[in-house]
């Protein structure tokens, strides 16, 4: 910045600024999980270059598995953060919406023959149509919330309940299988690239989101509407439209997540695909330290929150926790994280820290 040397207060050290920012919560959780694994079994972090059955050299290891399987969740967390911030509520229909979106994609790709040998339409067309459908459903949710002022959870309960049946109906209750190999690239690996494609797609999504936030006022508008709708209206904003927009954007995230999901297995199971992902997406937002009642948000914190959840899941799998018992273990850790990151607890901890510092000022590092 040119000649801006006047009243700028000296910047606090990075660490001090970081501890005040909400991003400290997911970072601390990631570090804690990493530390735990490091002590329990350092081989957790081993990454190897393996050859797959079709002669493709790819990276593998727990960390790779985390960044791979966390992709859908991280992408959903982007949209969920906006929805939460603007409307002070959450969309619980994203799992069902993924089923719809995936179903639409397969319908377009396979046409009327659910086992057709060749693609009936280019993948990009299928993706675009799925995006449109998904955004339309997002708009439906958004309209209920913005114009009819229905509680977001109640409004999205409708699609949550109906979504998976709609998905099945789109393909006449058949389970189409895509036989084209290239479709599988997006949920697995592109030949010659050792990094899982879902992670690459997620990175592209992060960059696009970052650019979108940098080159538009969405962050200010969404936060303003989330904090004070009346004021926002009097400052020329259209709160209803902004809320609607966040749901439509979440719809877009849903379509991309669905794309990865169906590409992973080249088919779909309506009742299982992305099951319970809505709760994880909401949790990612909460773990990122964002208020679920809306208002201020930090996108990067939510994304890290998503990877915390995936890290946790993978760790539990690693320790051979049974799939059926997994949610219970997860719940324990999540309770711990959420309680520790609650504002009241953080405040108390901060005060405790101060007291400790006061009582032995000599020995403590500042």
Partner 1 sequence: MKEDSLLEMRGIYKSFPGVKALQNVDFTLRKGEIHALMGENGAGKSTLIKVLTGVHVKDEGVISLQGKGEVHIHSPQDAQKNGISTVYQEITLCPNLSVAENIYIARGKGGLVSWRSMNKKAQELLDSLGIDVKANQQLASCSIAVQQMVAIARAVDMDCSVLILDEPTSSLDESEVEKLFVLMRQLKERGVGIIFVTHFLDQVYAVCDRITVLRDGQLVGEYEIESLPRIQLVSKMLGKDLDDMADIKGESLPTGDPNSTPVYEAEGLASVEGIGPYNFEIRAGEVNGFTGLLGSGRSESVRAIFGADRVTGGKVKIDGKSVKITKPRQAMAHGIAYLPEDRKRDGIVGDLSVRDNIILALQVKTGFFKPFSKAKATEFADEYIKLLDIKTASVNTPIKSLSGGNQQKVILARWLLTHPKYLILDEPTRGIDVGTKTDIQKLVLKLASEGMCVTFISSETDEMLRTCSRLLVMRDRKLVGELTGDQLTQAAVMNTIAGGEKNAEQQ
The interface with partner 1 within residues 18-47 (CB under 8 A) comprises none
Q: Is 295 in the site for partner 1 (CB under 8 A)?
A: yes
* CA dist., res. 284 & res. 336, Å (int): 14
Per CB under 8 A, the list member of 1, 39, 117, 332 interacting with partner 1 is 1
Q: Which is nearer to partner 1, 236 or 363 (CB)?
A: 236
Angle at 134 between CA 137 and CA 314, to 5 degrees: 115
Nearer to partner 1, 114 or 223 (CB): 223
For residue 296, state whether it binds partner 1 (rule: CB under 8 A). Answer: yes
Q: How far is the CB of 71 from partner 1 (least distance, A)?
A: 28
Minimum gap (Å) between residue 84 Cβ and partner 1: 14
Instruction: State which residue, 229 or 280, has the beta carbon closest to partner 1.
Output: 229
Q: Taking CB under 8 A as the rule, does residue 300 contact partner 1?
A: no
- Rounded (10°) CA dihedral 19, 25, 26, 27: 30
- Number of other CB atoms surrounding residue 361 within 10 Å: 9
- Pick the closer one to partner 1 by CB: 161 or 293: 293
Q: Name which position in 3, 4, 5, 54 contacts partner 1 (CB under 8 A).
A: 4
Instruction: Using the structure block, give the residue that is written with the tokens 């509680």.
Output: 151
Q: Which is nearer to partner 1, 172 or 217 (CB)?
A: 217
CB of 19 or CB of 238, closer to partner 1:
238
Residue 234 Cβ vs partner 1, minimum distance, rounded to whole Å = 5
In the complex, the smallest distance separating the C-beta of residue 263 from partner 1, rounded to whole angstroms, is 33
CB of 239 to partner 1, least distance (A): 11
**Which H or E element spans position 48?**
strand 48-51
Instruction: Give the angle subtended at the CA of 100 by the CAs of 94 and 104, to the nearest 5°.
Output: 140
Binders of partner 1 in range 158-217 (CB under 8 A): 214-217
Check binding of 65 to partner 1 (CB under 8 A).
Answer: no
- Give 15 or 215: the residue with its C-beta nearer to partner 1: 215
Query: Taking CA 51 as the corner, what is the angle to CA 46 and CA 53, rounded to the nearest 5 degrees?
Result: 130
Q: Residue 12 interacts with partner 1 (CB under 8 A)?
A: no
CB distance 183 to 122 below 8 Å:
no
Which residues, in sequence order, are CB contacts of 267 under 8 Å at separation 6+? 106, 175, 176, 177, 178
Closest by Cα among 4, 36, 6 to 311: 36
Least separation in angstroms between CB 354 and partner 1: 10
**Please, what is the minimum distance in Å from the beta carbon of residue 139 to partner 1?**
18
Tell me the C-alpha distance between 104 and 228, whole Å.
38
Q: Work out which of 118, 172, 182, 231 binds partner 1, going by CB under 8 A.
A: 231
- Token pair of 202, please? 């997620």
- Nearer to partner 1 among residue 148 and residue 215 (C-beta): 215
DSSP states of 99-139 as a string?
HHHHHHHHHHHHTT-TT-SS-SS-HHHHHHHHHHHHHHHHH
| Torsion sign, CA atoms 248, 164, 84, 210 | negative
Residue ranges binding partner 1 (CB under 8 A): 1, 4, 7, 9, 214-218, 220-221, 223-224, 227-228, 230-238, 295-296
């Amino acid at each position: 910045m040119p000649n801006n040397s006047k009243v700028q207060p000296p910047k606090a050290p990075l660490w001090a600024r970081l501890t005040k920012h909400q991003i400290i919560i997911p970072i601390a959780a990631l570090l804690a999980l990493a530390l735990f694994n490091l002590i329990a079994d350092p081989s957790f972090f081993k990454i190897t270059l393996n050859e797959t059955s079709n002669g493709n050299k790819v990276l593998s290891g727990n960390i790779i598995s985390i960044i791979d399987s966390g992709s859908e969740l991280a992408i959903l967390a982007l949209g969920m953060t906006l929805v939460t911030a603007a409307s002070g509520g959450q969309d619980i229909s994203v799992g069902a919406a993924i089923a719809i979106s995936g179903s639409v994609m397969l319908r377009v790709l396979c046409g009327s023959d659910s086992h057709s040998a060749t693609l009936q339409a280019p993948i990009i067309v299928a993706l675009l149509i799925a995006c449109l459908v998904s955004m339309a459903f997002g708009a439906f949710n958004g309209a209920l919330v913005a114009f009819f002022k229905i509680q977001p959870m109640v409004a999205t309960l409708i699609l949550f309940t109906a979504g998976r049946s709609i998905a099945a109906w789109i393909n006449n209750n058949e389970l189409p299988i895509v036989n084209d190999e290239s479709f599988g690239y997006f949920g697995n690996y592109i030949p010659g690239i050792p990094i899982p494609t879902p992670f690459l797609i997620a990175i592209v999504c992060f960059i696009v989101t970052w650019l979108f936030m940098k080159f538009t006022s969405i962050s200010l508008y969404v936060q303003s509407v989330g904090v004070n709708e009346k004021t926002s209206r009097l400052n020329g904003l259209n709160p209803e439209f902004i809320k609607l927009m966040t749901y439509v954007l979440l719809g877009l995230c849903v379509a991309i997540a669905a794309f990865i999901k169906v590409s992973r297995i080249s088919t779909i199971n309506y009742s299982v695909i992305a099951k319970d992902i809505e709760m994880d997406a909401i949790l990612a937002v909460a773990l990122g330290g964002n208020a679920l009642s809306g208002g201020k948000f930090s996108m990067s914190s939510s994304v890290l929150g998503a990877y915390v959840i995936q890290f946790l899941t993978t760790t539990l799998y690693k320790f051979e926790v049974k799939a059926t018992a997994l949610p219970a273990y997860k719940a324990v850790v999540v309770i711990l994280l959420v309680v520790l990151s609650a504002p009241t607890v953080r405040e108390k901890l901060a005060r405790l820290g101060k007291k400790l510092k006061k009582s032995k000022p000599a020995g403590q590092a500042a």
